[in-house]
Protein backbone atom coordinates (compact mmCIF):
# COMPACT_ATOMS: atom_id res chain seq x y z
CA UNK A 1 0.00 0.00 0.00
CA UNK A 2 1.34 3.44 -0.89
CA UNK A 3 2.01 6.06 1.80
CA UNK A 4 -1.11 7.61 3.35
CA UNK A 5 -1.74 11.22 2.33
CA UNK A 6 -3.76 12.92 5.06
CA UNK A 7 -5.87 15.90 4.02
CA UNK A 8 -8.24 18.01 6.10
CA UNK A 9 -10.87 19.81 4.02
CA UNK A 10 -12.41 22.93 5.56
CA UNK A 11 -15.09 24.25 3.17
CA UNK A 12 -16.02 27.27 5.32
CA UNK A 13 -18.71 29.77 4.32
CA UNK A 14 -20.45 31.24 1.27
CA UNK A 15 -19.30 29.50 -1.92
CA UNK A 16 -16.78 27.46 0.14
CA UNK A 17 -18.89 24.28 0.31
CA UNK A 18 -19.73 24.39 -3.44
CA UNK A 19 -16.16 24.80 -4.64
CA UNK A 20 -14.88 22.27 -2.10
CA UNK A 21 -17.34 19.66 -3.42
CA UNK A 22 -15.61 19.89 -6.81
CA UNK A 23 -12.14 19.62 -5.22
CA UNK A 24 -13.36 16.56 -3.29
CA UNK A 25 -14.39 14.92 -6.57
CA UNK A 26 -10.86 15.46 -7.90
CA UNK A 27 -9.42 13.87 -4.73
CA UNK A 28 -11.74 10.87 -5.18
CA UNK A 29 -10.76 10.63 -8.86
CA UNK A 30 -7.06 10.52 -7.89
CA UNK A 31 -7.80 7.81 -5.33
CA UNK A 32 -9.49 5.64 -7.96
CA UNK A 33 -7.38 6.38 -11.03
CA UNK A 34 -3.88 7.04 -9.67
CA UNK A 35 -4.08 4.78 -6.61
CA UNK A 36 -3.21 7.63 -4.26
CA UNK A 37 -3.95 6.58 -0.71
CA UNK A 38 -5.80 9.62 0.65
CA UNK A 39 -7.14 9.85 4.19
CA UNK A 40 -9.62 12.74 3.97
CA UNK A 41 -11.47 14.41 6.82
CA UNK A 42 -13.87 17.36 6.64
CA UNK A 43 -14.63 19.90 9.34
CA UNK A 44 -16.11 23.34 9.95
CA UNK A 45 -14.29 26.67 10.01
CA UNK A 46 -15.25 30.36 10.05
CA UNK A 47 -18.88 31.39 10.36
CA UNK A 48 -20.08 27.80 9.99
CA UNK A 49 -17.95 26.74 12.98
CA UNK A 50 -19.11 29.76 14.99
CA UNK A 51 -22.77 28.90 14.37
CA UNK A 52 -22.10 25.30 15.33
CA UNK A 53 -19.98 25.73 18.46
CA UNK A 54 -19.55 29.45 19.22
CA UNK A 55 -15.94 29.65 17.92
CA UNK A 56 -14.62 30.16 14.36
CA UNK A 57 -12.03 27.43 14.94
CA UNK A 58 -12.89 24.65 17.37
CA UNK A 59 -10.01 23.16 19.39
CA UNK A 60 -10.61 19.74 17.87
CA UNK A 61 -10.40 21.21 14.35
CA UNK A 62 -7.08 22.86 15.17
CA UNK A 63 -5.76 19.56 16.54
CA UNK A 64 -6.82 17.82 13.33
CA UNK A 65 -5.18 20.55 11.23
CA UNK A 66 -1.92 20.05 13.14
CA UNK A 67 -1.97 16.30 12.61
CA UNK A 68 -2.52 16.13 8.83
CA UNK A 69 -0.08 16.60 5.93
CA UNK A 70 -2.16 19.42 4.43
CA UNK A 71 -5.27 21.51 4.98
CA UNK A 72 -7.41 22.60 2.02
CA UNK A 73 -9.59 25.58 2.92
CA UNK A 74 -12.48 27.06 0.90
CA UNK A 75 -13.22 30.56 2.19
CA UNK A 76 -14.66 32.19 5.29
CA UNK A 77 -16.83 35.19 6.07
CA UNK A 78 -20.16 36.80 5.38
CA UNK A 79 -22.24 39.77 6.50
CA UNK A 80 -24.36 37.63 8.85
CA UNK A 81 -21.35 37.56 11.22
CA UNK A 82 -20.64 41.31 11.05
CA UNK A 83 -22.04 41.85 14.56
CA UNK A 84 -19.94 39.11 16.16
CA UNK A 85 -17.10 40.27 18.46
CA UNK A 86 -13.80 40.80 16.64
CA UNK A 87 -11.92 37.72 17.85
CA UNK A 88 -14.87 35.42 17.11
CA UNK A 89 -15.36 36.64 13.52
CA UNK A 90 -14.96 34.00 10.75
CA UNK A 91 -11.65 35.57 9.62
CA UNK A 92 -10.24 35.05 13.14
CA UNK A 93 -10.51 31.30 12.53
CA UNK A 94 -8.35 31.60 9.44
CA UNK A 95 -5.74 33.79 11.17
CA UNK A 96 -5.62 31.37 14.11
CA UNK A 97 -4.98 28.46 11.74
CA UNK A 98 -2.10 30.32 10.05
CA UNK A 99 -0.59 31.28 13.39
CA UNK A 100 -1.01 27.94 15.17
CA UNK A 101 0.36 25.99 12.20
CA UNK A 102 3.37 28.36 11.99
CA UNK A 103 2.70 29.14 8.32
CA UNK A 104 5.36 31.75 7.59
CA UNK A 105 5.64 31.39 3.79
CA UNK A 106 2.81 32.41 1.51
CA UNK A 107 3.20 31.16 -2.07
CA UNK A 108 1.08 32.94 -4.65
CA UNK A 109 1.58 31.84 -8.24
CA UNK A 110 0.43 34.21 -10.96
CA UNK A 111 -0.03 32.07 -14.04
CA UNK A 112 -1.78 33.31 -17.14
CA UNK A 113 -3.66 30.52 -18.88
CA UNK A 114 -3.24 30.86 -22.64
CA UNK A 115 -7.00 30.83 -23.28
CA UNK A 116 -7.50 33.69 -20.81
CA UNK A 117 -4.83 36.13 -22.03
CA UNK A 118 -7.60 38.49 -23.16
CA UNK A 119 -9.04 38.64 -19.61
CA UNK A 120 -5.91 40.41 -18.31
CA UNK A 121 -5.85 44.17 -18.00
CA UNK A 122 -2.48 44.12 -19.82
CA UNK A 123 -1.82 43.54 -23.51
CA UNK A 124 -1.83 39.81 -24.45
CA UNK A 125 1.84 39.84 -25.52
CA UNK A 126 2.85 41.03 -22.04
CA UNK A 127 1.07 38.22 -20.18
CA UNK A 128 1.04 35.31 -22.62
CA UNK A 129 3.06 32.53 -20.97
CA UNK A 130 3.30 34.42 -17.67
CA UNK A 131 4.37 32.21 -14.73
CA UNK A 132 5.52 34.08 -11.61
CA UNK A 133 5.75 32.80 -8.04
CA UNK A 134 5.47 35.40 -5.29
CA UNK A 135 6.84 34.26 -1.93
CA UNK A 136 5.50 36.51 0.81
CA UNK A 137 6.67 36.39 4.43
CA UNK A 138 3.46 35.88 6.39
CA UNK A 139 4.04 35.99 10.14
CA UNK A 140 6.43 38.91 10.71
CA UNK A 141 6.97 42.52 9.68
CA UNK A 142 4.79 45.53 10.25
CA UNK A 143 1.54 43.57 10.67
CA UNK A 144 2.86 41.98 13.86
CA UNK A 145 5.73 44.23 15.06
CA UNK A 146 5.70 45.88 18.50
CA UNK A 147 5.15 48.58 19.62
CA UNK A 148 1.83 49.12 17.88
CA UNK A 149 -1.36 50.98 18.69
CA UNK A 150 -3.04 54.38 18.76
CA UNK A 151 -2.21 56.75 21.60
CA UNK A 152 -3.27 60.26 22.58
CA UNK A 153 -0.39 62.68 23.17
CA UNK A 154 -0.37 65.27 25.99
CA UNK A 155 -1.25 67.98 23.45
CA UNK A 156 -4.40 66.05 22.52
CA UNK A 157 -3.09 64.92 19.13
CA UNK A 158 -3.52 61.21 18.33
CA UNK A 159 -0.61 59.06 17.15
CA UNK A 160 -0.78 55.71 15.34
CA UNK A 161 2.23 53.38 15.51
CA UNK A 162 3.20 50.18 13.75
CA UNK A 163 6.69 48.72 13.72
CA UNK A 164 8.43 47.03 10.80
CA UNK A 165 10.73 44.45 12.34
CA UNK A 166 12.57 41.40 10.99
CA UNK A 167 15.23 39.15 12.49
CA UNK A 168 17.92 37.28 10.58
CA UNK A 169 16.27 33.89 11.21
CA UNK A 170 12.94 35.12 9.85
CA UNK A 171 14.64 36.41 6.70
CA UNK A 172 16.76 33.29 6.26
CA UNK A 173 13.87 30.82 6.45
CA UNK A 174 11.75 32.69 3.87
CA UNK A 175 14.78 33.17 1.61
CA UNK A 176 15.46 29.41 1.71
CA UNK A 177 11.86 28.75 0.60
CA UNK A 178 12.33 31.13 -2.35
CA UNK A 179 15.70 29.70 -3.44
CA UNK A 180 14.45 26.10 -3.12
CA UNK A 181 11.43 26.95 -5.29
CA UNK A 182 13.54 28.76 -7.88
CA UNK A 183 15.66 25.61 -8.15
CA UNK A 184 12.55 23.72 -9.30
CA UNK A 185 11.48 26.51 -11.66
CA UNK A 186 13.37 29.11 -13.70
CA UNK A 187 16.41 29.42 -11.38
CA UNK A 188 15.97 33.15 -10.63
CA UNK A 189 15.04 35.02 -7.44
CA UNK A 190 14.21 38.72 -7.19
CA UNK A 191 14.28 39.98 -3.60
CA UNK A 192 12.21 43.09 -3.00
CA UNK A 193 12.35 45.63 -0.12
CA UNK A 194 13.01 49.32 0.47
CA UNK A 195 16.68 49.15 1.44
CA UNK A 196 17.10 52.77 0.34
CA UNK A 197 14.90 54.17 3.13
CA UNK A 198 14.36 51.39 5.71
CA UNK A 199 16.97 49.73 7.92
CA UNK A 200 14.84 46.58 8.05
CA UNK A 201 14.99 46.60 4.23
CA UNK A 202 18.78 46.90 4.29
CA UNK A 203 19.00 43.97 6.71
CA UNK A 204 16.66 41.99 4.44
CA UNK A 205 18.90 42.67 1.43
CA UNK A 206 22.11 41.74 3.27
CA UNK A 207 20.69 38.52 4.75
CA UNK A 208 19.10 37.32 1.50
CA UNK A 209 22.47 37.89 -0.17
CA UNK A 210 24.11 35.67 2.49
CA UNK A 211 21.56 32.87 1.96
CA UNK A 212 22.19 33.07 -1.80
CA UNK A 213 25.75 31.78 -1.18
CA UNK A 214 24.19 28.36 -0.46
CA UNK A 215 22.57 28.38 -3.92
CA UNK A 216 25.30 29.12 -6.50
CA UNK A 217 23.06 27.82 -9.30
CA UNK A 218 20.34 30.43 -8.59
CA UNK A 219 20.59 33.99 -9.95
CA UNK A 220 19.66 36.63 -7.35
CA UNK A 221 18.81 40.25 -7.98
CA UNK A 222 17.41 42.95 -5.69
CA UNK A 223 14.67 45.39 -6.61
CA UNK A 224 13.11 48.18 -4.58
CA UNK A 225 9.46 47.39 -3.89
CA UNK A 226 8.09 50.44 -5.69
CA UNK A 227 10.17 49.64 -8.74
CA UNK A 228 9.04 46.01 -8.53
CA UNK A 229 5.38 47.12 -8.61
CA UNK A 230 6.12 49.18 -11.70
CA UNK A 231 8.01 46.36 -13.44
CA UNK A 232 5.18 43.92 -12.67
CA UNK A 233 2.83 45.92 -14.88
CA UNK A 234 5.50 47.00 -17.40
CA UNK A 235 7.20 43.68 -18.18
CA UNK A 236 5.96 40.94 -15.83
CA UNK A 237 7.59 38.06 -17.69
CA UNK A 238 11.05 39.19 -16.49
CA UNK A 239 10.28 37.60 -13.08
CA UNK A 240 10.56 33.99 -11.92
CA UNK A 241 10.37 33.97 -8.08
CA UNK A 242 9.86 37.19 -6.12
CA UNK A 243 10.60 37.03 -2.38
CA UNK A 244 9.43 39.86 -0.19
CA UNK A 245 8.15 40.82 3.25
CA UNK A 246 4.63 40.71 4.63
CA UNK A 247 3.50 44.23 3.69
CA UNK A 248 5.11 44.50 0.24
CA UNK A 249 4.07 40.91 -0.49
CA UNK A 250 0.47 41.76 0.29
CA UNK A 251 0.54 44.54 -2.31
CA UNK A 252 2.73 42.93 -4.97
CA UNK A 253 0.81 39.65 -4.95
CA UNK A 254 -2.46 41.49 -5.55
CA UNK A 255 -0.91 43.38 -8.45
CA UNK A 256 0.36 40.10 -9.89
CA UNK A 257 -3.06 38.51 -9.37
CA UNK A 258 -4.73 41.05 -11.61
CA UNK A 259 -2.30 40.28 -14.43
CA UNK A 260 -3.98 36.91 -14.79
CA UNK A 261 -7.60 37.98 -15.20
CA UNK A 262 -9.82 36.51 -12.53
CA UNK A 263 -9.83 35.95 -8.79
CA UNK A 264 -11.64 32.67 -9.38
CA UNK A 265 -8.50 31.21 -11.00
CA UNK A 266 -5.88 31.90 -8.34
CA UNK A 267 -4.60 29.31 -5.84
CA UNK A 268 -2.24 29.88 -2.91
CA UNK A 269 -0.24 27.94 -0.36
CA UNK A 270 0.94 28.80 3.13
CA UNK A 271 3.83 26.67 4.34
CA UNK A 272 5.53 26.19 7.70
CA UNK A 273 8.85 24.60 8.50
CA UNK A 274 9.81 21.56 6.40
CA UNK A 275 7.69 18.59 7.44
CA UNK A 276 5.39 20.90 9.45
CA UNK A 277 1.98 22.33 8.66
CA UNK A 278 0.70 23.49 5.29
CA UNK A 279 -2.53 25.10 4.18
CA UNK A 280 -3.80 25.59 0.65
CA UNK A 281 -6.63 27.92 -0.31
CA UNK A 282 -8.00 29.96 -3.19
CA UNK A 283 -7.03 33.64 -3.09
CA UNK A 284 -10.66 34.78 -3.32
CA UNK A 285 -13.12 35.14 -0.44
CA UNK A 286 -16.48 33.52 0.26
CA UNK A 287 -18.32 35.52 -2.46
CA UNK A 288 -21.64 35.73 -0.57
CA UNK A 289 -23.20 37.51 -3.57
CA UNK A 290 -23.15 34.30 -5.63
CA UNK A 291 -23.27 31.62 -2.89
CA UNK A 292 -25.71 28.76 -3.40
CA UNK A 293 -26.27 29.53 -7.10
CA UNK A 294 -23.95 26.90 -8.60
CA UNK A 295 -22.12 29.59 -10.60
CA UNK A 296 -18.87 30.01 -8.60
CA UNK A 297 -15.61 29.14 -10.32
CA UNK A 298 -14.09 26.05 -8.62
CA UNK A 299 -10.76 26.30 -10.49
CA UNK A 300 -8.81 28.28 -7.83
CA UNK A 301 -9.69 25.61 -5.25
CA UNK A 302 -8.86 22.74 -7.60
CA UNK A 303 -5.52 24.41 -8.44
CA UNK A 304 -4.91 24.84 -4.69
CA UNK A 305 -5.32 21.07 -4.39
CA UNK A 306 -2.75 20.73 -7.19
CA UNK A 307 -0.34 22.85 -5.13
CA UNK A 308 -0.94 20.56 -2.13
CA UNK A 309 -0.07 17.57 -4.30
CA UNK A 310 3.15 19.24 -5.46
CA UNK A 311 4.39 20.75 -2.19
CA UNK A 312 2.96 18.54 0.59
CA UNK A 313 2.37 15.15 -1.02
CA UNK A 314 5.31 14.97 -3.43
CA UNK A 315 2.94 14.06 -6.28
CA UNK A 316 4.16 16.45 -9.01
CA UNK A 317 2.80 14.27 -11.84
CA UNK A 318 -0.74 14.41 -10.43
CA UNK A 319 -0.43 18.17 -9.84
CA UNK A 320 0.59 18.59 -13.47
CA UNK A 321 -2.32 16.40 -14.60
CA UNK A 322 -4.80 18.68 -12.81
CA UNK A 323 -3.19 21.81 -14.26
CA UNK A 324 -3.19 20.32 -17.76
CA UNK A 325 -6.86 19.32 -17.37
CA UNK A 326 -7.80 22.90 -16.39
CA UNK A 327 -5.86 24.21 -19.38
CA UNK A 328 -7.61 21.68 -21.63
CA UNK A 329 -11.10 22.61 -20.43
CA UNK A 330 -10.44 26.33 -20.91
CA UNK A 331 -8.99 25.70 -24.36
CA UNK A 332 -12.18 23.78 -25.16
CA UNK A 333 -14.13 27.01 -24.58
CA UNK A 334 -15.89 26.32 -21.25
CA UNK A 335 -16.15 29.24 -18.82
CA UNK A 336 -17.83 29.94 -15.51
CA UNK A 337 -19.61 33.31 -15.36
CA UNK A 338 -16.65 35.21 -13.82
CA UNK A 339 -14.34 34.41 -16.76
CA UNK A 340 -17.02 34.39 -19.49
CA UNK A 341 -15.88 35.72 -22.88
CA UNK A 342 -17.82 36.26 -26.13
CA UNK A 343 -18.27 33.07 -28.14
CA UNK A 344 -17.54 30.75 -25.18
CA UNK A 345 -19.91 28.38 -23.37
CA UNK A 346 -21.05 29.45 -19.90
CA UNK A 347 -21.17 26.53 -17.44
CA UNK A 348 -22.09 26.02 -13.79
CA UNK A 349 -19.74 25.14 -10.91
CA UNK A 350 -20.64 21.46 -11.12
CA UNK A 351 -20.35 21.25 -14.92
CA UNK A 352 -16.91 22.89 -14.71
CA UNK A 353 -15.98 20.23 -12.12
CA UNK A 354 -17.36 17.44 -14.36
CA UNK A 355 -15.43 18.77 -17.34
CA UNK A 356 -12.13 18.87 -15.44
CA UNK A 357 -12.66 15.25 -14.37
CA UNK A 358 -13.41 14.20 -17.98
CA UNK A 359 -10.25 16.02 -19.11
CA UNK A 360 -8.28 14.14 -16.43
CA UNK A 361 -9.75 10.89 -17.81
CA UNK A 362 -8.52 11.84 -21.28
CA UNK A 363 -5.06 13.00 -20.21
CA UNK A 364 -4.42 10.23 -17.68
CA UNK A 365 -1.42 8.16 -18.75
CA UNK A 366 -0.16 5.92 -15.96
P1 LIG B 1 -14.61 37.92 -2.57
O2 LIG B 1 -13.29 37.41 -3.08
O3 LIG B 1 -15.41 36.95 -1.79
O4 LIG B 1 -15.49 38.43 -3.80
C5 LIG B 1 -15.09 39.50 -4.67
C6 LIG B 1 -15.85 39.37 -6.02
O7 LIG B 1 -15.29 38.26 -6.75
C8 LIG B 1 -17.33 39.06 -5.83
O9 LIG B 1 -18.07 39.71 -6.85
C10 LIG B 1 -17.43 37.57 -6.02
O11 LIG B 1 -18.68 37.13 -6.50
C12 LIG B 1 -16.30 37.30 -7.01
N13 LIG B 1 -15.71 35.98 -6.80
C14 LIG B 1 -14.87 35.61 -5.78
N15 LIG B 1 -14.56 34.32 -5.91
C16 LIG B 1 -15.19 33.86 -6.98
C17 LIG B 1 -15.27 32.58 -7.61
N18 LIG B 1 -14.61 31.50 -7.15
N19 LIG B 1 -16.04 32.45 -8.72
C20 LIG B 1 -16.70 33.50 -9.21
N21 LIG B 1 -16.67 34.74 -8.69
C22 LIG B 1 -15.92 34.91 -7.58
O23 LIG B 1 -14.27 39.22 -1.72
P24 LIG B 1 -15.27 40.14 -0.85
O25 LIG B 1 -16.59 40.24 -1.53
O26 LIG B 1 -14.49 41.34 -0.55
O27 LIG B 1 -15.46 39.36 0.52
C28 LIG B 1 -16.56 38.49 0.81
C29 LIG B 1 -16.30 37.79 2.14
O30 LIG B 1 -15.15 36.95 2.00
C31 LIG B 1 -15.99 38.76 3.29
O32 LIG B 1 -16.62 38.27 4.44
C33 LIG B 1 -14.48 38.68 3.43
O34 LIG B 1 -14.05 38.94 4.75
C35 LIG B 1 -14.23 37.25 3.06
N36 LIG B 1 -12.86 36.96 2.57
C37 LIG B 1 -12.35 35.76 2.94
C38 LIG B 1 -11.11 35.38 2.46
C39 LIG B 1 -10.61 34.01 2.84
O40 LIG B 1 -11.37 33.19 3.32
N41 LIG B 1 -9.34 33.71 2.60
C42 LIG B 1 -10.39 36.21 1.60
C43 LIG B 1 -10.97 37.43 1.22
C44 LIG B 1 -12.22 37.78 1.71
Q: Are residues 21 and 155 in the same domain?
A: no
Note the pLDDT of residue 25.
98
Task: Give the closest residue to 166 by CA, choosing from 85, 214, 227, 104.
Answer: 104
Among the listed residues 28, 87, 118, 226, the single catalytic one is 226
Q: Where are the beta strands (DSSP E) in the chain?
A: 4-12, 37-42, 70-75, 105-111, 131-137, 149-152, 158-161, 188-193, 219-224, 241-244, 267-271, 278-282, 334-335, 345-346
More confident residue, 109 or 3: 109
The answer on pLDDT for 274 being more than 80 is: no
Note the pLDDT of residue 325.
97
Q: Are residues 246 and 134 in the same domain?
A: yes
Note the pLDDT of residue 337.
94
CA distance 47 to 54: 9
Q: Are residues 59 and 10 in the same domain?
A: yes
Task: Pick from 16, 71, 92, 287 the residue to mutate for probing ligand 1's pocket: most ligand atoms within 8 Å of its CB.
Answer: 287
pLDDT in tens, 122-178: 999 999 999 999 999 999 999 889 999 999 999 999 999 999 999 999 999 999 999
289 pocket-lining for ligand 1 (C-beta < 6 Å): yes
Note the pLDDT of residue 35.
86
- Spacing, Cα 1 to ligand 1 middle (Å): 40
Report the nearest atom of ligand 1 relative to the CA of 12.
40
299 pocket-lining for ligand 1 (C-beta < 6 Å): no
Cβ neighbours, 10 Å, residue 145: 16
> What percent of the chain lies above the pLDDT cut of 90?
88
Note the pLDDT of residue 366.
60
263 pocket-lining for ligand 1 (C-beta < 6 Å): yes
Q: With DSSP H G I counted as helix, E B as strand and the rest as coil, what are the percentages for the chain, rounded to 5?
A: 50, 20, 35
Q: Are residues 55 and 119 in the same domain?
A: no
Q: How many CA atoms lie within 13 A of 243 on its CB side?
A: 31
Q: Are residues 79 and 149 in the same domain?
A: no
Cβ atoms 299, 264 nearer than 8 A: yes
Q: Calculate the average pLDDT of the chain.
A: 95
The answer on pLDDT for 359 being more than 80 is: yes
pLDDT in tens, 71-95: 999 999 999 999 999 889 999 999 8
Task: Give the closest residue to 214 by CA, choosing from 184, 242, 172.
Answer: 172
CA distance 278 to 101: 7
Range with lowest mean pLDDT among 123-127, 182-186, 262-266: 262-266
The CATH number covering residue 73 comes to 3.40.718.10
pTM confidence score: 0.91
The answer on pLDDT for 215 being more than 90 is: yes
Among the listed residues 143, 180, 237, 294, the single catalytic one is 143
Note the pLDDT of residue 282.
96
69 is catalytic: no
Cα-based torsion angle of the residue sequence 63, 65, 68, 72 in order, rounded to the nearest 10 degrees:
160
- Spacing, Cα 270 to ligand 1 middle (Å): 18
Domain that holds residue 196: 112-267
Q: Are residues 263 and 307 in the same domain?
A: no
23 pocket-lining for ligand 1 (C-beta < 6 Å): no
Q: Are residues 11 and 85 in the same domain?
A: yes
Please, which pLDDT band fits residue 273 given cuts at 50, 70 and 90?
Answer: confident
86 is catalytic: no
For helices 349-363 and 16-33, give the axis angle rounded to 10 degrees. 20
Please, which pLDDT band fits residue 1 given cuts at 50, 70 and 90?
Answer: low
Q: Are residues 67 and 127 in the same domain?
A: no
Provide the domain count of the chain. 2
Q: Are residues 333 and 259 in the same domain?
A: no
The answer on pLDDT for 257 being more than 90 is: no
Amino acid sequence: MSKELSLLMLPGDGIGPEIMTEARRVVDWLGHNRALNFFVEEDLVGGAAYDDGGKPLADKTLERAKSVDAVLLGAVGGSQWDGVEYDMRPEAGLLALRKELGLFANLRPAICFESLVDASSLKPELVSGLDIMIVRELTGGVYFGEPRGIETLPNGERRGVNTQVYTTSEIHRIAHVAFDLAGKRGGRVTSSEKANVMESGLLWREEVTKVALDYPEIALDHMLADSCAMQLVRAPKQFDVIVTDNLFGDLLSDVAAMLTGSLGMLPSAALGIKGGGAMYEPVHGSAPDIAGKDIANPIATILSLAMALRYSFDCAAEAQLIEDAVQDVLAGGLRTADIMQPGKAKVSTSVMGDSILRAMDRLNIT
